[in-house]
């Protein structure tokens, strides 16, 4: 079996994908990597939500990485033909690229956590941000054929978020890389100043405890700080030496809560609790640092996400031979069983009492370390956590558990039902779109998913970029007055089962009506726009819809509009008013195109300003004639690059419906 690990993941920062790769290889799976790290961890991505004006920088960084990934991914697919593609953790965007690059090849998304869940935990809980991130979660899991989740609780959340893909979920524990198990070898702990080896009955002079990771509400870092303060005030039989390693939004609060520790340390020669704060630890040194402690703290947060996760540090600490203390949740009990000490989430007093009790009972510490180590060897190795994945991929395939590359088993992943138009679309590749058209398509396609029209009429279909996508969904008729553009559209749309006529609305068969009538970037070219909307409404069957797209905001009218033959740009209320005047019921009017649309217009306006002198004297009708042929991708390679580069911006624009450069409106024709 062949699996391609693909995406912008960074295994050094997020070792989960490394565990999956290590485990697949342990089962005899041939794994190759196409990887270009994005260079942003979870904290940095969440920080962008608090400073949205920097989101375009994220989109540009994603676009640069994706350009390389797309090229390398297509080359690898041609030369190597993987059985499945594994998109690494934090792959919410990458899975969308993978679906485009690898087509029908099964896509496995290591989803692990949900973007909306994580953002809420980090303080980005605004309604708009949450709606966008839930949309991103939905898009990501829908694009995958198999969705890896770390707990049964997250599997239930997947079923609640997108019931239609619940059967694609597969629970695989996070696990720990091999170096964490190696760090627990007895030789590591024989050095002076380190804790004894797991199971050693000999107590050291103090109980050594470590917490590491991000100081966030999920982790409960302030709860740990409060517990340390309580220990400092009330003491313990055996001194407790604590290492707090990491940084994050709750670091200052955690240090303030532990303030009694420093005060006690100044008051006495030998304090009951000492704390060492480490801002950062090199990932390569972290396993040995953790293994040098007797106790590893898990998470103590009280939020909904904290009830669903089992953190990295629990798996890693157990593999390193530490006793584990963590919050008492169903998810963590399922993972650890009797190999950990549990305390109520958010209860600093309970944590302080448990640490004091362990300081007084070295034998209990040794027993917990032995149990944790045994549980890790049983269930947290790379081979163990990938066993369900290998079985799912290879079910009904080769009986040989270590097949050769020539004996490749059939992958068994939930498949999607395919409509006849979609099957035609797979046989006939869809034509490329210009950048602004991709931004518009992101909104239009989501509305089409809800409408599901059986018949579609497109007025002014240009070269058929949108028309081909409509023909892949429905019975389609397009009309286009420019003969050259109509010929291109016909060549693209006819193989998909649609038809294209040369002409304007007068070419539409008399008396015909349609479930959906649409005109994209047409109305602004017509002098009598109100009369034309009323005429178009006559092609809509009762209960059907009219969909229009136009450039937004009259104050943005510039050389680009003049050169294209535009009479005007529209406000949302103005466009809605035209639909109402035509006897239609408005359904939605939405702005799109932030922020990329602004950049595209900033580039085009100076270019078109220079061209205006060459077209002086031409009428708007003459300028309009060729508008459907300008600024189109010249070939499929450029079209693929545009599709990849614009993908992050398509999701970025969903953050706001008030800003942008274009409008799409939808209205319904009454049945009465």
- Of the candidate ranges 265-269, 465-469, 505-509, 574-578, the one whose mean pLDDT is the lowest: 265-269
Region 85-112: what's the mean pLDDT?
90
Choose the most confident range, by mean pLDDT, from 181-190, 300-309, 651-660: 300-309
State pLDDT tens for residues 312-356.
Answer: 999 999 999 999 999 999 999 999 999 999 999 999 999 999 999
- Of the candidate ranges 153-157, 216-220, 385-389, 638-642, the one whose mean pLDDT is the lowest: 638-642
CA atoms within 13 A on the CB side of 106: 20
Tokens of 601: 């217009």
State residue 628's pLDDT score: 59
How far apart are alpha carbons 446 and 299 in whole angstroms? Answer: 39
- Of the candidate ranges 389-403, 446-460, 486-500, 521-535, the one whose mean pLDDT is the lowest: 389-403
CA dihedral for 211, 357, 185, 275, sign (positive or negative)? positive
- Of the candidate ranges 113-117, 174-178, 317-321, 501-505, the one whose mean pLDDT is the lowest: 113-117
- Tally Cβ neighbours within 10 Å of residue 503: 12
Nearest residue to 290 (alpha-carbon basis) of 156, 163, 195, 402: 195
State residue 242's pLDDT score: 95
CA dihedral for 354, 358, 363, 365, sign (positive or negative)? positive
CA atoms within 13 A on the CB side of 550: 30
SS3 content of the chain, % helix, strand, coil (to 5): 50, 15, 35
Question: Is the confidence at residue 427, as pLDDT, over 50?
Answer: no
State residue 415's pLDDT score: 47
State residue 110's pLDDT score: 95
Choose the most confident range, by mean pLDDT, from 245-259, 268-282, 517-531: 517-531
State residue 62's pLDDT score: 77
Confidence of residue 523 (pLDDT cuts 50, 70, 90): very high
Question: What percent of the chain stands above pLDDT 70?
Answer: 85
State pLDDT tens for residues 620-636.
Answer: 777 777 665 566 787 77
State residue 363's pLDDT score: 94
How far apart are alpha carbons 485 and 521 in whole angstroms? Answer: 15
Tokens of 381: 């190795």
Q: Give the predicted TM-score (pTM) of the model.
A: 0.70
**Which one has a higher pLDDT value, 112 or 478?**
478
Cross-sheet strand order for the sheet of 2-7: 30-35, 2-7, 84-87, 107-112, 146-149, 169-171
Q: By the 8 A CB rule, do 351 and 366 touch?
A: no
State pLDDT tens for residues 484-499.
Answer: 999 999 999 999 999 9
Contacts of 617 (CB under 8 A, 6+ apart): none
- Of the candidate ranges 48-62, 250-264, 504-518, 640-654, the one whose mean pLDDT is the lowest: 48-62
Average pLDDT, the chain: 86
Q: By the 8 A CB rule, do 427 and 495 touch?
A: yes
**Which one has a higher pLDDT value, 619 or 301?**
301
Long-range Cβ contacts of 338-341 (<8 Å, 24+ apart)? 338/371, 339/368, 339/371, 339/372, 339/374, 339/375, 340/298, 340/314, 340/368, 340/371, 340/372, 341/368
DSSP string, 287-341: HHHHHTSSEEE-----SHHHHH---HHHHHHHHTT-EEEEE--HHHHHHHTTSSE
Distances, alpha carbon 662 to alpha carbons 550, 569, 598, in Å: 6, 9, 10
State pLDDT tens for residues 110-168.
Answer: 998 787 776 666 665 666 667 777 888 888 999 999 999 999 999 999 999 899 899 99
Beta strands in 129-269 (DSSP E): 146-149, 169-171, 207-212, 240-245
Region 52-60: what's the mean pLDDT?
63
State residue 430's pLDDT score: 87
- Of the candidate ranges 33-37, 417-421, 526-530, 585-589, the one whose mean pLDDT is the lowest: 417-421
């Amino acid at each position: 079996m062949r699996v391609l690990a693909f995406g912008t993941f960074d295994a050094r920062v997020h070792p989960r994908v490394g565990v999956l790769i290590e485990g697949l290889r342990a089962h005899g799976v041939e794994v190759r990597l196409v990887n270009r790290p994005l260079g942003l961890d979870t904290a940095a991505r969440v920080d962008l939500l608090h400073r949205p004006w920097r989101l375009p920088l994220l989109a540009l960084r994603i676009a640069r990485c994706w350009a390389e990934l797309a090229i390398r991914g297509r080359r690898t697919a041609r030369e190597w033909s993987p059985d499945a593609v594994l998109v690494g953790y934090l792959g919410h965007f990458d899975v969308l690229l993978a679906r485009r690059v690898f087509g029908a090849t099964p896509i496995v998304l290591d989803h692990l956590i949900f973007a909306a869940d994580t953002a809420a935990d980090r303080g980005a809980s605004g309604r708009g941000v949450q709606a966008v991130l839930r949309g991103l979660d939905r898009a990501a899991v829908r694009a995958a054929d198999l969705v890896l989740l770390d707990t049964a609780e997250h599997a239930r959340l997947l079923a609640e978020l997108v019931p239609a893909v619940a059967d694609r979920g597969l629970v695989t524990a996070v696990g720990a890389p091999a170096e964490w198990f190696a760090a627990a070898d007895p030789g590591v702990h024989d050095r002076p100043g380190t804790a004894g080896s797991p199971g050693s009955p000999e107590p050291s002079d103090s109980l050594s405890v470590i917490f590491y990771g991000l100081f966030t509400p999920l982790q409960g870092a302030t709860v740990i700080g409060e517990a340390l303060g309580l220990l400092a005030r009330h003491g313990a039989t055996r001194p407790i030496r604590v290492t707090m390693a990491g940084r994050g939004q709750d670091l200052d609060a955690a240090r303030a809560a532990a303030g009694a520790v420093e005060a006690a340390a100044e008051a006495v020669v030998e304090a009951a609790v000492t704390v060492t704060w480490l801002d950062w630890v090199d990932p390569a040194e972290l396993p040995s640092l953790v293994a040098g402690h007797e106790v590893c703290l898990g998470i103590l947060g009280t939020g909904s996400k904290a009830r669903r996760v089992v953190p990295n540090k629990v798996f890693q600490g157990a593999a390193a031979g530490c006793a584990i203390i963590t919050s008492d949740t169903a998810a963590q009990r399922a993972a650890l069983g009797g190999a950990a000490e549990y305390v109520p989430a958010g209860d600093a007093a309970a944590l302080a009492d448990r640490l004091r009790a362990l300081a007084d009972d070295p034998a209990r510490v040794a027993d917990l370390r032995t149990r944790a180590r045994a549980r890790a060897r049983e269930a947290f190795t790379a081979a163990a956590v990938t066993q369900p994945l290998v079985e799912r991929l290879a079910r009904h395939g080769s009986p040989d558990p270590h097949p050769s590359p020539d004996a490749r088993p059939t992958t068994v992943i939930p498949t999607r039902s395919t409509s006849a138009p979609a099957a035609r679309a797979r046989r006939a590749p869809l034509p490329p779109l210009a950048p602004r058209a991709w931004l518009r398509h992101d909104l239009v396609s989501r509305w089409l998913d809800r409408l599901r029209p059986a018949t579609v009429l497109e007025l002014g279909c240009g070269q058929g970029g949108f028309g081909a996508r409509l023909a892949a969904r429905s019975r389609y008729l397009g009309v286009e007055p420019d003969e050259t553009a109509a010929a291109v559209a016909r060549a693209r749309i006819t193989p998909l089962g649609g038809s294209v006529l040369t002409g304007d609305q007068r070419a539409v068969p008399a008396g015909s009506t349609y479930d959906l009538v649409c005109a994209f970037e047409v109305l602004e070219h017509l002098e009598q726009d109100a009369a034309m909307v009323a005429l178009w409404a006559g092609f809509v069957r009762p209960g059907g819809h009219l969909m229009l797209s136009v450039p937004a905001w009259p104050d943005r009218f510039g050389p680009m509009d003049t050169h294209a033959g535009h009479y005007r740009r529209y406000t949302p209320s103005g466009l809605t008013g035209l639909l109402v005047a035509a006897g239609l019921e408005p359904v939605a009017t939405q702005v799109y195109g932030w922020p990329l649309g602004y950049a595209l217009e900033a580039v085009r306006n100076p270019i078109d300003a220079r061209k205006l002198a060459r077209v002086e004297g031409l009428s708007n009708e003459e300028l309009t004639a060729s508008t459907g042929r300008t600024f189109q991708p010249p070939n499929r390679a450029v079209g693929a690059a545009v599709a990849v580069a614009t993908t992050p911006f398509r999701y970025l624009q969903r953050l706001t419906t008030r800003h942008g450069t274009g409008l799409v409106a939808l209205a319904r024709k009454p049945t009465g």
